[in-house]
Amino acid sequence: MSSRDITILLIEADPQTCDLIADQSLRPVGYRVEITGSISSGLDEIEKTIPNVIITSLNLPGLSGKDLIVALASRWITTPIIVMASKGQETDVLQALRLGAADYLLRPIRETEVINVVENALQKHHLKNELEKTTQQLEQLKADMLKQARDFWDIFSMSKLLTKAENMHAMYQQIIETVIQVGEAERAWILTLDPRQCKYILQACANTSETMHSMLNLPYEDEFSALAGISGLPITLHGEALNRFNNTDLLGAAMVVPIKHNNLPVGTITISRQAAVPFNNHQQAMLELVAEYTSLIQQTFQRFNLLKHSLVVEQQTCIYQQVETDLCHDILSETSLEMSSPLKMLIENVDSLFKQDEHKSTRDQAIALKNIREEAEMLTEITDTLAIHSDESRKRLENIDLNMVVQQVASRFQPFTTLDQISFRMELALETAIVKAYASQITRVVEGLVSNAIKCCPPRSEISIGIETSVDHYTVSVKNQLELGDVYLAEDIFAKKNRIIGYTGRRFGGIGISLPLIKEIITAYKGQIWAKNEAGSGFVVSFTLPRS
């Protein structure tokens, strides 16, 4: 800075001292010098034009030079102050320096000393200002670096979402919080492209209007965001440049970056603030990095869902196939059980005939009885060693109507119930009751319940079969008019090897799968099954199946 650009305020009451400092020392070398005779008037002068240097005497009437130093410090004025004192005032000078004075002059004052002290004070002040400026720049750089570190950490933390890809809407909300942080924004929203509708869907938003919040998960028209989606390039605007877009009245600055899969835009992330201060390059870089992470999270979520669905289907198919295997074995077991007693009785009767009529039977009759016994023994061996080999590869889940299953089962059992004057009463669903299952398995379940009901039902009674409809499932109930003991109400009614077959079982020759297997089948389809006595009306077994 040239001396002509420097103003020095001299506060001194002695005319000779003023002349020496101002006219003989400073003005000849180009400094502008203003003179005042008291601290009070000096303060007024400082208020008008802050000088570059202040020279003041410590020996002034009223307020002293030390009072001036304190007054300027209280007003945060950092102009360097040079104090003048006489010999013997070294203590006062030391106090002034401690209060903040830049330098001092001792009387008698010499011209060269004045210039040297002023130049030293100016140089020190300049160095001090440069140091403060550098310190401020370093502090700002430190703050910027810390901000960048926090931004990178926030974005890096998003990688944890890749391992938690279960609820995409919740993750979009976490992404929104991150972009507001790294972009130093006030509002933000995320749109994704729905390829089926060819429209952008609002997935998440923060600090936006109630109208916008009400559009979550719905198509949302946003010209500014759509422009980035079409171009595939980041866009940042502020001030009047936003006026040509709709719904941007309250925006002072906005930035939008596209979300891309295989270089094709599939969504956008938009941030905004009310102040018309443009977003900087660092904020744009951070937002683009968030968009890349969002793309990875979306792809991971899609792959995760596909894998999860495949695993569920595979697991459920294994369950269904195991149930089918158990069903076949159970049917064979029931068949063996139903056949063993009649075959044994047949063999015993044939043996009895042999003993009683050995000499009375004709040769043909004897041969016939022998053949009957051999065939009966062969059937007995078959029932004891029966095995099954089924081809599960052709099994497929299908939509079946429970109404139709119940009607078909009742129709097949009608000849057996007619013999004992047992009637069916059916209360079916008003509409089709569709469930997804193996038709053979559900049919066997209903057959098993009806078979057990017939075995335990007294003659001239009624079996009720009902289907009730709920929001998410159907309930099928089979009820007969014979009340069983409390032991059958326990949970172990569905335990393995437990059977409800008494003396009435001989009256009915039908084959039905066991209650334990019925429970296994229903559980495999994520249904529930239970049994209970209804006082005065009979015994009922009910099960539920999810609606298709």
Tell me the CATH number at 44.
3.40.50.2300
403 and 541 share one domain: yes
Q: What is the CATH number of the domain that holds 292?
A: 3.30.450.40
For residues 446 and 277, give the distance between their C-alpha atoms in angstroms, rounded to a whole number.
73
Q: Is residue 350 part of a domain?
A: no
Greatest C-alpha distance within the chain: 172
The answer to whether residues 182 and 155 touch, using CB atoms and an 8 Å cutoff, is: yes
Same domain membership, residue 541 and residue 405:
yes
Both tokens of residue 516? 């334990």
Which of 301, 330, 351 marks a domain boundary? 301
Backbone phi, then psi, for 479, in 5-degree steps? -130, 135
List CB contacts of 28: < 8 A, sequence separation 6 or more: none
Residue 387, pLDDT score:
42
E-only strand ranges, 382-433: 398-401, 423-427
Q: What pLDDT does 329 receive?
A: 64
The average confidence (pLDDT) of the chain is 79
For residue 265, name the pLDDT band (cuts at 50, 70, 90).
Answer: confident
Whether residue 101 is found in the same domain as residue 173: no
Separation of alpha carbons 127 and 191, rounded Å: 53
Pair 179, 241 in one domain: yes
How far, in Å, CA of 497 to CA of 344, rounded? 22
Domain count, the chain: 3
Q: For residue 401, what pLDDT band results from cuts at 50, 70 and 90?
A: very high
Give pLDDT tens digits for 247-259: 655 578 888 999 9
In a domain, 281, yes or no: yes
184 and 123 in one domain?
no
Of the residues 301, 331, 355, the one at which a domain ends: 301
Predicted pLDDT at 458: 79
Q: Are residues 262 and 172 in the same domain?
A: yes
Is residue 291 located within the same domain as residue 164?
yes
Q: Based on the fold, state whether residues 98 and 203 are members of the same structural domain.
A: no
- Domain assignment present for residue 256? The answer is yes
Residue 462 resides in a domain: yes
Residues 186 and 296 in one domain: yes
Share of the chain above pLDDT 90, in %: 19
Q: Which residue range forms the structural domain that includes residue 427?
A: 396-546
Whether residue 53 lies inside any domain: the answer is yes
* Same domain assignment for residues 492 and 443: yes
- The pLDDT tens digits for 111-146 are 889 999 999 999 988 888 888 888 888 887 777 677
Shared-domain flag, residues 195 and 90: no
| 371 found inside a domain | no
Of 254, 279, 301, the one marking the end of a domain is 301
CATH value at residue 510 = 3.30.565.10
Percent of the chain exceeding pLDDT 70 equals: 75
For residue 335, count other CB atoms closer than 10 A to its CB: 14
Lowest mean pLDDT segment, chosen from 160-164, 242-246, 378-382, 398-402: 160-164
Residues 468-514 have pLDDT tens digits of 999 999 999 998 876 555 444 545 677 655 554 443 444 444 556 77
**Is residue 342, in this structure, part of any structural domain at all?**
no
Looking at residue 1, its pLDDT comes to 60
What's the pLDDT band for 321 if we cut at 50, 70, 90?
low
Pull the structure tokens for residue 306.
């596909």
The verdict on 178 and 65 lying in the same domain is no
Query: How confident is the model at residue 151, as a pLDDT?
Result: 62
R_g of the chain computed on alpha carbons: 50
Would 365 be classed as within a structural domain?
A: no
